[in-house]
């Protein structure tokens, strides 16, 4: 039985990844073909010719105007997925059509609906507006993970691992030592995990990017909307500084760390990561530094989670983990994911 | 359940591949050992020592005169497969014998019977006499395919793919555009697929080898004898030229393209290819050109079919293809193969 | 069903392999963590953090004094396996404990008990005292084998393969030609296989190390204590020389070849090999020669057995081997191993 929730929105790609080249990516076990029309419209269809299942994203398949020509026998499809030409005959079978996927571009992300298209409700797509806001600067990337998506959910919901796995980058002793508070909003379908460190060491990641050093206030407010979108609202400020009563927070640096956690298969995952900031917005050296640092941190996670996937594959059934307080958020997320995978409408009934 | 027909003849090797070296090849999932005696006789036996199953084709196993000595413990077998010596004792167990395979050398090919040896009828082996005829010149090769043999059957029975997968080599627009005629001879166990292009572009493959250029008559007459032997009778001639009433055809160039499609395992295949011609017979530059071109074309097929095998491995059960007119020959071949695999005597009852 | 006997002692490592670095090795399918305390005491526990199963032998997990700190979230364990610290809270759950393994260091080997710890009887561990005796000099190594352990048992119990697989190293014609005598001591749980060659060619392995040449007396006395410890008492002497009545044997050279055969998984094995001698004890060139030669011989076995494992994986169920006299010892060993794997107490009731 699959642990991947269906009838859900997933991030399939960054908007900028898809243009006038055929682009294939497997999402939740389904191979999907993406491309844009000459007018720039996004298309998403099953990446498999209806004739003999050749992947349309694979050369010598090619884009000709607003049609895709299969590289094996030349079956040709329009932007709506309908077949418009087959070899050796004039009549095109009416059923010759690539299954379309609902897609939405929003906040610089390409969201795809995996499941029954009739149930695709675009209002349920969670937002991260700063990713596409001129007041913010974002660096981003994607790393392939040879591990099930739930291992990345566990990882991100419990940031105490920063101290150990990411020491010297984003981890300091205070992250593991400071207790968290967890809140599950079942109606909104969101898990919140907060850790406010009011007097903590400034890790290199923030020292170099903000110019602060020594002791800082460091707030981590996680907002995870299962299954895909994870947002870490990170606030870095001098010790003692708090947001003003009117909501403004002029002394603090705000970093929005976003992950999109998209299953590729049952045991592999697309690990999309983004780091948005509201300071030093035009400083390319800060952008380059944050991109390189965050990619390093993500690759440390990838290495560890790939190991865990191999451990799981080799272990006997029924192995029991032990959970402690830091796992409260992760366990809440697992419960919501399990309900989603079982087919319940866990979100926004 | 296997999709590989048993009680059938398959091409195991080219005659020239087997000599005074031990030669192992897996045919239809069965590892087979081939070698020739000092007198030149061909032998074929199970490639597995009866003692502890060490492959006899594998060093340090070796040929000593007309015996094979196992490289593990020295069990020694004669050309008839009988064990003639075992270590540590003088008595050789009567049952110590390598299972023999019926083999026939014909038309430069080594044919092997996979199945019940008592049913091996050598008269059923299909012929391709030009492969071993001094009036013809042949180039040949074999490429390993990481795909089930039926994908290669599909591929070769529908040459409309030449236009797309082999454009610039053997494909031109007319191949995909010209309808085919298909005829199934159930009694002879042969599928015929014909495509006669009377005014077509001359592809590089034929332009360079025949010296013709511009528009040509190009006839493709496929004769497939399931499961293994595929023959493409290719006729290239100036536009308007037809064979004479007496059967002679002096203005045309004849190329016999032969494939032997031999399953290695359920999901891998030996893709033997041969190109015989009745012109420029002593022109080594034409031989080198055709060998290089056809190998390139075969490798294009191999790349595409390896992709299809991976697509099939990843897709859910019950996936349905869509077939059109060009598939008539391939579908007929599939039906014959399915009957053969199910154990019916589909051929030459 | 596993063919690996449980409730048995296995060699996990050489004593010298384990020190103040975390050391992980999978034994009988179980990942085990080894390290020594600052006082030098050996520890062995399940190599998997109780929290989220991260391997404790894997960086960035690390040894801090006499504790192990998990590289993922910092769970910290003492030398007794008990968890002493978890992140984000002061209370450590009482059940947070790494499962310990009974271990014994003896004869330079680290023995581990796989199975029910309550049944671990250290008196049942077989001895090889010369491995840790100042009167002997030992060279040793370990090669990973991608084959089930029983293939190595077969290999070592029937040395007639030396003639064929190890010709030019330790094999001569007499090994395969000379009959063996086999004796099974069910009470002691030992299989004995003897081959006394009284007039045999001296193989390079012994010619170079002993200085003897031409014809020799060569005795091979195997003593195998299933499942793990294999000892070959090898006696090399001038032709005609026999041990004296008082047990002394001054004209002979004695080599004790020891293998520890430890399953890593169902289809892979740790192949520990040791060669101890009572002559030329301080001659480093003899040590280097024997180490290089024996490693070469082991790698010849590894190559052959890896092939056999692949043969077994590809063959249909129910394949039957043929056994002859040389297999008597191997078949006796198989019967004892089968009883052990089935859970009977085959040894020292």
Contacts of C177 in chain B (CB under 8 A): 87-88
Residue B229's Cβ-side half-sphere holds a number of Cα atoms within 13 Å equal to: 25
Q: Residue C197's CB: how many other CB atoms inside 10 A?
A: 18
Q: Do A88 and B176 touch (CB under 8 A)?
A: yes
Q: How far apart are CA C192 and CA C182, in angstroms?
A: 6
Q: How far apart are CA A288 and CA C1, in angstroms?
A: 55
What chain B residue is nearest to A52 in terms of C-alpha separation? B321
On whether any CB of chain C is under 8 Å from the CB of B62, the answer is: no
Residue A24's SS3 state is strand
Contacts of C74 in chain A (CB under 8 A): 160, 163-164, 176
Q: Under a CB-based contact definition with an 8 Å cutoff, are residues C172 and C203 in contact?
A: yes
Minimum-distance CB partner of B88 among C154, C180, C308 = C180
On whether any CB of chain C is under 8 Å from the CB of B236, the answer is: no
Cα separations in angstroms, C297 against A248, A312, B247, B327, C292: 75, 36, 67, 57, 9
Q: Do B161 and A72 touch (CB under 8 A)?
A: yes
Contacts of B160 in chain A (CB under 8 A): 73-74, 87-88
Sign (positive or negative) of CA dihedral A142, A145, A149, A155:
negative
pLDDT band at A1 (very low <50, low <70, confident <90, very high): confident
On whether any CB of chain C is under 8 Å from the CB of A160, the answer is: yes
What chain C residue is nearest to A308 in terms of C-alpha separation? C54
Partners for B (CB, 8 Å, 3+ pairs)? Answer: A, C
Dihedrals φ, ψ of C123, to 5°? -70, -15
DSSP annotation of C26 reads E
Q: How far apart are CA C15 and CA C105, in angstroms?
A: 7
Mean local confidence (pLDDT), A256-265 = 98
pLDDT for residue B141: 98
pLDDT single digits (tens) A173-192: 999 999 999 999 999 999 99
Residues 31-50 of chain C with CB under 8 A from chain B are: none
> Is B346 a residue whose pLDDT tops 50?
no
Parts of chain C with a pLDDT under 70: 344-349
On whether any CB of chain B is under 8 Å from the CB of A169, the answer is: no
Q: Degrees (nearest 5) of the Cα angle A90, A21, A101? A: 70
Distance of CA B117 to the CA centre of its chain: 21
Helix A284-314 to helix A149-157 angle (10° resolution) is 120
Among residues C53, C19, C47, the alpha carbon closest in space to that of C33 is found at C47
Q: Which helix (H) or strand (E) holds C157?
A: helix C149-157
Q: Which helix (H) or strand (E) holds C118?
A: none
pLDDT for residue C1: 76
Minimum-distance CB partner of A307 among C58, C70, C88 = C58
On whether any CB of chain C is under 8 Å from the CB of A158, the answer is: yes
pLDDT for residue A344: 60
Q: Does domain C128-341 have CATH number 3.50.50.60?
A: no
pLDDT for residue B133: 96
Among residues C344, C347, C341, the alpha carbon closest in space to that of C2 is found at C341
CB-based contacts of C132, cutoff 8 Å, min separation 6: C106, C107, C108
What chain A residue is nearest to C98 in terms of C-alpha separation? A322
Q: How far apart are CA B184 and CA B175, in angstroms?
A: 21
Contacts of A179 in chain C (CB under 8 A): 88-89
On whether any CB of chain B is under 8 Å from the CB of C318, the answer is: no
pLDDT single digits (tens) A100-131: 999 999 999 999 999 999 999 999 999 999 99
Q: How far apart are CA B110 and CA B27, in angstroms?
A: 12
DSSP annotation of A278 reads S
Residue B243's Cβ-side half-sphere holds a number of Cα atoms within 13 Å equal to: 11
Average model confidence (pLDDT) across chain B: 95
Residue C152's Cβ-side half-sphere holds a number of Cα atoms within 13 Å equal to: 35
Q: Degrees (nearest 5) of the Cα angle B268, B272, B278? A: 160
> Is A35 a residue whose pLDDT tops 60?
yes
**Please, which residues bridge with residue A269 across strands?**
A145, A263
Q: How far apart are CA A63 and CA C87, in angstroms?
A: 54
Q: Residue C215's CB: how many other CB atoms inside 10 A?
A: 16
Cα separations in angstroms, C207 against C109, C159, C244: 29, 19, 23
Homologous superfamily of the A8-122 domain (CATH): Rieske [2Fe-2S] iron-sulphur domain (2.102.10.10)
Q: Do B304 and A72 touch (CB under 8 A)?
A: yes
Q: Do B164 and A71 touch (CB under 8 A)?
A: yes
Among residues C109, C112, C154, C42, the alpha carbon closest in space to that of C276 is found at C109
pLDDT for residue B344: 60
Residue A146's Cβ-side half-sphere holds a number of Cα atoms within 13 Å equal to: 8
Q: Under a CB-based contact definition with an 8 Å cutoff, are residues C216 and C237 in contact?
A: yes
Q: Which residue has the tokens 């490639």?
A: B47
Q: Which helix (H) or strand (E) holds C299?
A: helix C284-314
Residues 133-152 of chain B with CB under 8 A from chain A are: none
pLDDT band at A346 (very low <50, low <70, confident <90, very high): very low
Interface residue of A194, A324, A329 to substitute, partner C, most C CBs within 10 Å: A324
pLDDT band at B214 (very low <50, low <70, confident <90, very high): confident
Q: Residue C98's CB: how many other CB atoms inside 10 A?
A: 23
Q: Under a CB-based contact definition with an 8 Å cutoff, are residues C81 and C87 in contact?
A: no
Distance of CA A131 to the CA centre of its chain: 13
Q: Under a CB-based contact definition with an 8 Å cutoff, are residues B149 and B265 in contact?
A: no
Read off the tokens for A265.
């298969």
For chain C, the helix, strand and coil percentages under 3-state DSSP, each to the nearest 5: 25, 35, 40
Count of pairs with CB atoms under 8 A, one residue in B, one in C: 76
Chain C: give the shortest CA distance to residue A166, in Å: 9
Homologous superfamily of the B129-341 domain (CATH): Naphthalene 1,2-dioxygenase Alpha Subunit; Chain A, domain 1 (3.90.380.10)
* Prediction pTM value: 0.94
What are the domain boundaries of chain A? 8-122, 128-341
On whether any CB of chain A is under 8 Å from the CB of B313, the answer is: no
Read off the tokens for C319.
């394949």
On whether any CB of chain B is under 8 Å from the CB of C104, the answer is: no
Interface residue of B55, B72, B90 to substitute, partner C, most C CBs within 10 Å: B72
Q: Under a CB-based contact definition with an 8 Å cutoff, are residues A242 and A219 in contact?
A: no
Q: Do A88 and B160 touch (CB under 8 A)?
A: yes
Q: Do A69 and B304 touch (CB under 8 A)?
A: no
Q: Under a CB-based contact definition with an 8 Å cutoff, are residues C253 and C236 in contact?
A: yes
Could you list the beta-strand ranges (E) of B61-207.
Answer: 62-64, 67-69, 76-78, 83-85, 103-106, 109-114, 137-145, 181-185, 190-201
Contacts of C176 in chain B (CB under 8 A): 73-74, 87-88
What chain B residue is nearest to C159 in terms of C-alpha separation? B73
Radius of gyration of chain A (CA): 22
């Amino acid at each position: 039985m699959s642990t991947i929730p269906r009838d859900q929105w997933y991030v399939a790609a960054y908007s900028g990844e898809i243009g006038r080249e055929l682009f294939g990516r497997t999402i939740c076990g389904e191979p999907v073909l993406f491309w844009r029309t000459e007018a720039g419209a996004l298309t998403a269809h099953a990446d498999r010719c209806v004739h003999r299942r050749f992947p349309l994203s694979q050369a010598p398949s090619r884009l000709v105007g607003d049609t895709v020509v299969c590289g094996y026998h030349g079956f040709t499809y329009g932007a709506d997925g309908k077949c418009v030409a087959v070899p050796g005959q004039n009549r095109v079978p009416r059923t010759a059509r690539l299954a379309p996927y609902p897609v939405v571009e929003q906040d610089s992300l390409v969201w795809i609906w995996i499941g029954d298209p009739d149930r695709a409700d675009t209002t349920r797509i969670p937002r991260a507006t700063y990713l596409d806001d001129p007041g913010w600067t974002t660096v981003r990337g994607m790393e392939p993970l040879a591990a099930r998506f739930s291992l990345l959910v566990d990882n991100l919901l419990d940031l105490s691992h920063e101290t150990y796995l990411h020491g010297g980058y984003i981890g300091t002793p205070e992250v593991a030592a400071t207790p968290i508070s967890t809140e599950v909003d079942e109606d909104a379908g969101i898990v919140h995990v907060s850790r406010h460190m009011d007097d903590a060491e400034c890790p290199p990641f923030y020292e170099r990017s903000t110019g602060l050093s020594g002791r800082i206030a460091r707030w981590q407010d996680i907002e995870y909307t299962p299954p895909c979108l994870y947002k870490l609202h990170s606030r870095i400020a001098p010790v003692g500084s708090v947001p003003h009563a009117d909501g403004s927070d002029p002394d603090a640096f705000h970093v929005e760390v976003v992950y999109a956690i998209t299953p590729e298969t049952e045991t592999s995952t697309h690990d999309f990561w983004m780091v948005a900031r509201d300071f030093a917005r035009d400083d390319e050296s800060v952008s380059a530094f944050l991109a390189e640092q965050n990619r390093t941190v993500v690759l440390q996670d990838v290495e560890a989670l790939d190991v865990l996937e191999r451990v799981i594959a080799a272990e006997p059934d029924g192995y029991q983990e032990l959970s402690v307080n830091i796992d409260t958020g992760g366990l809440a997320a697992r419960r919501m994911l399990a309900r989603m995978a079982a087919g319940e409408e866990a979100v926004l009934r």
